[in-house]
Structure 1
Amino acid sequence: MKKSIFSTKTIVAIGIGTALFVILGRFASIPTGIPNTSIETNYALLALISTIFGPIAGLFIGLIGHALKDAISYGSVWWSWVIVSAFIGLGIGLFRKMFSIQDGEFGRKKIIAFNIAQSSVQAIGWFIIAPILDILIYAEPANKVFTQGIIAGISNIITVGILGTFLLAAYAKTRTKKGSLSYED
């Protein structure tokens, strides 16, 4: 029997994660002064859920959550950035074994691994993919979209670096450390 990538746990994580992504994106974003570019706290949540539930959950939370947030906030969906959000959820989820928090430990080495992974994934997404898709899909001017991508990328890398690291550390503390249980006579 083949195991499905859509377990009940993954589907529930996608539903709850999507709702939280939309809420945070709608009510917990800080404008940067660059048009349509904000400091987004929802990417810290996306990093946490992608790390806990994996790349499929991260991909769909980024995809559906960002599309819904755009539709609610702006009345239309900006697909180039939606694709990047899905890419970020997928990418961070793919690296999750490097900084596995399920074993109850999230020390210096895992924090560094997490931040290298999230920074790399977001840099590719915001500095390269988003501007190129903006040019290809919407015929936007290159200088505008690369500026927006750089500002969005830097602010999201910093936000996930601080808030995401805090969320992962807090979650790891709720997990039982590997080998911490012992047999009593």
Structure 2
Amino acid sequence: MFKKQLSIKNIVAIGIGAAVFIILAKFVSLPSPVPNTSIQTSYAFLALMAVVFGPIAGALIGLIGHALNDAISYGSVWWSWVVVSLFVGFIIGLVAKRINIESGVFNKSKLITFNVVQIIAQAIGWFLIAPVLDILVYAEPANKVFVQGLFAGVSNMVTVGVIGSILLFAYSKTRTQSNSLHREL
């Protein structure tokens, strides 16, 4: 199964996905009132890639993209948040088979499934994992990191819910539906 997950197509997707994640995180994010936190569009793209290419690709795009963005932007990697990007990409990728975006159908049921999963993944990641790791690994003050995690989580839920849903809908329209071709007699 792992060999199937890491096909040449998936490896290329991971590389390109990580590069686009970096570009979006660096240049297409909005400042926020919470220190060291911004509104990121990169998670909407991560969600798209996770749904299209699955959990391994989603996890690696989140890991590589976030780690390289931190290294390039700040000179060091904030691993507690990188772990959350990996987690979010992986969990959203787990729903890829159920959504089956390659079918060309992204209906209300699939939209709801996608958004329930992404909200749960981001809530666990940003409200729990990131703040707890910030406290344990970096000895950050609890009140600071829980506010940062809350803001990052809510803003990511909204951007993925809006932009990610639009990207998935648009992507589904590029796929041929299995029942759309008919043989002419």
Whether the TM-score (by the shorter chain) exceeds 0.5 is yes
In the other structure, the counterpart of 1:46 is: 46
Number of corresponding residues: 184
Partner in structure 2 of residue 169 of structure 1: 169
Query: What is the TM-score when the length of structure 1 is the normalising length?
Result: 0.97
1:46-89 deviation line (CA, Å, top 9, x unaligned):
00000001111111110010000001111110000000000011
Conserved? CA contact 1:98–1:114, under 8 Å: no
Aligned to 2:109: 109
Cα distance in 2, alignment partners of residues 4 and 29 from structure 1: 34
Aligned to 2:141: 141
Letter in 2 for 1:34: V
Q: What's the CA shift for 1:31? A: 1.1
Q: Is the 8 A contact 1:126 1:152 kept in 2?
A: yes
Q: CA deviation at 1:181?
A: 1.1
State the one-letter code of the partner of 2:170: A
For structure 2, the 5+ residue unaligned runs are: none
Instruction: Tell me the amino acid that sits aligned with residue 180 of structure 1.
Output: S
For 2:147 and 2:18, the matched residues in 1 are separated by 27
Contact 2:25 2:69 in 1 (8 A): yes
Letter in 1 for 2:12: V
Task: Give, in angstroms, the shift of residue 180 of structure 1.
Answer: 1.3
CA distance in 1, matches of 2:117, 2:71: 29
**How far apart, CA to CA, are the structure 2 residues paired with 1:158 and 1:134?**
23
Kindly state the Cα deviation for residue 100 of structure 1 after the two structures are TM-superposed: 1.9
Structure 1 CA distance for aligned equivalents of residues 67 and 59 of structure 2: 12
Mapped pair 1:71 → 2:79: no
CA distance in 1, matches of 2:100, 2:14: 19
Answer yes or no: is the 8 Å Cα contact 2:99–2:110 preserved in 1.
Answer: yes
Structure 1 pair 4–175 and aligned structure 2 pair: CA distance change class (3 A) = closer
The amino acid across from 1:80 in the alignment is: S
Percent of residue pairs identical? 62
The TM-score with structure 2 as length reference comes to 0.97
Distance 2:3 2:134 in 1: 37
Supply the distance in 2 between the matched residues of 1:142 and 1:100 (Cα, whole angstroms): 40
1:102 aligned counterpart, secondary structure: helix
SS class of match (2:5): coil
Deviation, 1:4, is 4.3
Q: Which amino acid aligns with 1:110?
A: K
Q: What secondary structure sits across from 1:30 in the alignment?
A: strand
Cα RMSD, aligned residues only = 1.1
Cα distance in structure 1, aligned partners of 2:5 and 2:100: 19
Corresponding residue SS for 1:118? helix
In the alignment, structure 1 residue 181 sits paired with structure 2 residue 178: no
The one-letter code matched in structure 2 to 1:40 is Q
Query: What SS does the corresponding residue of 2:106 show, helix, strand or coil?
Result: coil
